[in-house]
Amino acid sequence: MKDDLETELRQALRPVAPSEGFEERLLARVTAERSSPPKPSRLKWRRSPATRWLSAGLAASILAAVGIQHHLHAQREREIGLEARRQVIEALRVTEEKLELAYRVVKDQSSSVSDEKPGV
């Protein structure tokens, strides 16, 4: 039974031919591929040492530019903060002077009123 089955399988699985024109279609594709200009290969592009150095340099420049910009931005922020602090201190100082002046005026007025009314 095993041999019969294997014989039948060999018969059943005999190779058959593809449709008419199979080779012609294939050779036409090969010819078309040969005549078309070669596509630029991304891998080759990446593998080129000059391109690799150029890419690395470009990446380093971009990183440096981003770093410098970040540093300048932080410095500007710090300067703005310091200026705001200076202005607040100045405003407090002016306010203190005004209050001092007002206090003195009120004090002078109250002492002159008590001089005019000694019995009170």
Partner 1 sequence: MSLDEQLAKARAGDLAAFGDLVRAHKRSVYSLALRMLGRRDLAEDMAQEVFMQLHGKLQSIESSAHLAFWLRKVTAHRAIDQLRRRPPVEMTSLNDEAQLVSTVDGSDPLLQRQLRQLVLNLSPPARAVVMLRYQEDLDPLEIAKTLDMPVNTVKSHLKRSLETMRQEILGQVETRREGHST
Query: Which chain residues interact with partner 1 by CB under 8 A?
Result: 1-2, 5-6, 8-19, 22-23, 25-27, 29-31, 33
CB of 46 to partner 1, least distance (A): 20
Our CB check for partner 1 shows the closer of 23 and 116 to be 23
- Please state the φ and ψ torsions of residue 90, each to the nearest 5 degrees: -60, -45
CB of 26 to partner 1, least distance (A): 5
CB of 16 to partner 1, least distance (A): 5
Q: How many angstroms separate the CA atoms of 51 and 41, rounded? A: 13
| Secondary structure of residue 37 in the 3-state scheme | coil
Q: How many angstroms separate the CA atoms of 99 and 106, rounded? A: 10
Q: How many angstroms separate the CA atoms of 98 and 78, rounded? A: 30
Our CB check for partner 1 shows the closer of 30 and 84 to be 30
Our CB check for partner 1 shows the closer of 19 and 112 to be 19
